A and B are shown apart, each in its own frame.
Chain A
Amino acid sequence: MDAITPPALVEALALRDALPADRPLNLSRRGLLGASLGALVLGVALRGAPARAQAAAAGGAAKPGTRVPAFLEIRPDGAILLRSPFVEGGQGVSTAMAQIVGEELDADPARFVVECAPPGADYMVVNGRRLTGGSFSVRSSYATMRQLGASARRMLLQAAATRLGVPLDSLSTEPGRVVHAGSGRTLDYGALAAEAAALPVPDGAPLRAEADFRYIGKPVARLDAREKSTGKAVYAIDLAVEGMLQAAVQHAPRLGCEPGAIANEAAVKAMPGVHSIHRLPGAVAVVADRWWRARRAAETLEVAWSEPAADARNVMPADFSSDGMRAALAAASGPGNTAETVGDAATALKGAARTVEASYDAPYLAHGQLEPPSAIARWNADGTLDLWLPNQAPEMFQRVAAQVAGIAPEKVNIHSPMLGGFFGRHFLYDAASPFPQAIQLAKAVGRPVKLIWSREEEFLRDALRPMGLARFRAGIGADGLPVALEAEAVGEGPIGRWFGTKPGAADPSAVEGISGKPYAIPNRQVAHVPLRNPAVIGFWRSVGHSMNDFFYEAFFDEMADAAGQDPYALRLRLLAEKPRHKALLEAVGALSGGWKRGPYEAADGTRRARGVAMASPFGSEVATIAEVSLKEGEVVVHDVWVAIDPGRIVNPAIIEAQVNSAVALGLSSALLEEVVYADGAPQARNFDGYPILPPDRMPRVHVRIVESGAPMGGIGEPGLPGVPPAVVNAVAALTGQRIRSLPLSKTRLGAA
């Protein structure tokens, strides 16, 4: 994932205007403000995990997720610091980790303070890697983190046994302390932490019986609700370090263009608070004492941008447009790379009583997380570099930051604050993160630099959900059941872009949601027709599912219509041999008061209809029903019912919240969102031109969690993919209009 490896970055940077820092600063001198544990002085640590754990952990040979001191510190008052492998960005993973570890440690999750761990081998608990994404955090680390908690509890018990001079098996625990029932004596964990720290990590510490769980599976309160309700939560954009300057950039209008002459450089340099002006790869930057001064100066710069060099990487063509891209996707012919083959779809189509064909597409999308990207870079006297930045993968950012800085990775200290939303935004994508610029600016000015991208610069450099298109052909048999389905997903997925795919192989992130569907259609052929996006693309909540389940599940209703069947009944019939899916579809039907497609008249006199969709994203199963009406040509979504089966669960309240959140984002994409490019530039640079779901378009959301006992699936993303097709299918039922291109705001609905 060498996404950001500009080999000539250092050389390209004009190290000019390194003025002495002679301007008065009005920044706090208290050093790092608002670090997540700034107020929590950890008195006693289990073997004193170092503040710079990355260096220590990097050398450790222990299996990831086993070295208790790398994860846990317990202070005398019983507060527990957990260094989590995962970053909290709203999905509730910090609370989930406290529940899982607390369950086995025997400690109330409310006593935990959770922060994202620094880079280090100890934290590579996601199949030997580390990232926060793919709805993978809890399900990938559940067993590891349980065992970690159990190991820590065992160490505390051993320390207590030694202290009290009693056999270990005469001791038990209750939340936060060890109990010797024989004598009635108790010892708080905080009082044992130092002794426990001296002990080796035990093997095979026993786990609590699931029937005795008090925290796992319960709606434990989020650890961060109060700080987030009082403005005390600290995000990267809120941080300050002693002596820092602040920077803003003006990016090249198109990727690949480079800054040339600046017509008004002297005038801008004279603007209030301006420290220096810098040319960076693909951008100009202003460093100032305060951010607003830097921003105002940066946007004032009149820059002559060169056209991209012939050999430049990642060039945004001057004539690129999203309309043109859609046409290119439509023109890209198959057969492409096979993703799924069952039976013989081509032959079955020839023999079908009738066939149905349709082409669907979905636009580029922006992440629109409300916290704009930022980074603080501080070069230290010993040659090390500290970086504070939003990220979903500390080790990956560490490695790339080291390349940019020209130092060894272990000399880069990565700090990963809480994220003000992410949805896939904070992985590594080309030219999509401020940290390389911050590193270079800090080097140039000889002081720490905090760089914030304005919302407008963020819209210019966000890594987009790719535009996609899918062509379907289905054959209906004489019995009214589908006998064959052919599908071609045209475009590019972020897995292929950033991790590569084998030659001739389908990109899973381009076909997921079209392949892997559970319906009993006896002949199926799914292929990926690759077409590269000139725009930088990235992961966006539910990735390929975010559009592919819309394509497939909407086309499914077209098949049902062609076969003269009710779409809910046809799904049930084609899931007859899939008990997990069938049960879920029945569950969402029941949750909605019994399936009815409509149209029908609601109590308020509006004419309404419902649509249904299924999805199998990220190891979970989801069934969704939406009810809609029309108002002045726009769809009104009244209720969304979601039944979700993640197999097994950790926190039902957070699951319900995440489903609400996924419904909102899925609905936002269905109704409103579209990044439009013209002449190589995004036409919207803020939320006025790129509307996202406002409160008055939020439907009621009803959630039923089904614990089937299947292997644990994901939670953060799975609620999304079913929403666009359920809404579009409801619109079709209501109006007869079959919408095959999102967002719905492009089409005036109902009688013209």
Chain B
Amino acid sequence: MAEAAIPQSVSSPAPEKFLPLGKVSFFRRFWASYSAAILTVGAIVIAGVLWEIEARYIKLVPAYLIPPMSEILAKLWTDTISGEIPFQLAWSLKNYAIGYLIGAGLAIPLGLGMGTFQALNKLLSPYVWILYVLPRIALLPIAIIAMGFGPEAKILFIAMACFFQVIIPTVAGVVTVPASLLKVGRLFGGSRIQVYRKVVLPYALNFIITGLRLAARTGLMVMYSTELFGSIRGIATYSIREAALFHTDGVFAGLIVITLLAVVLVSVIDILDEKLRPWKNEVSF
């Protein structure tokens, strides 16, 4: 309606801003393509330099609390070379991977089942909701007393976090398939199974992938916070130990490792998602 009201015949001369590409100066083109990357890298470098200056000369916060950036990077380097950080990180990541696989592996079939069968949905959804809303981390002390400081409790919590992050979008995906699509499928002579395979599953796939993405991020957070409380090994344990020894450079080194890990993981997933699923429409949570 609104579009129809706009007269289509009016043709204005192109505004001067949109010159053909050849006439734009090299610098402008360069800036247009890379400004975000340049500004980001520049900002990170400047932040690091300011940190260094603050810790060495200004000292708003005593240097034993926030050490200079160079010392943090040096500590990061030595501990990586000595194998300490990779060793701890590998232990954490193993739990993370196992937990993620268990959680997502259970959530997808169960979610599809709950979305498809009304009765199952009615039976299980109250529990899924309660456990989803409950801040599950509060159960950690009991789980640790029951299971010990080993990997079992961590895997359980990572699996739970991933499970709920995946199952809720999965159910929502199956339930919210537009009725018109289902009708079209039936109209064109698809059997129930065919409609399910060719309409419902591709539609729900979007939601499932969104859930898997969210789970990757949440699982990482849970991995860290479960280790924080008490653990035999792990990257968070490394940070805690360094903090207890007042080696704040080690704490910041651990923080850098976990930040890098999260950023790399999330961006790899996002890029893969972009490449493999170009048709996606954003499902926001």
A and B found bound together:
no
Residues of chain B at the chain A interface (Cβ within 8 Å): none
Residues of chain A at the chain B interface (Cβ within 8 Å): none
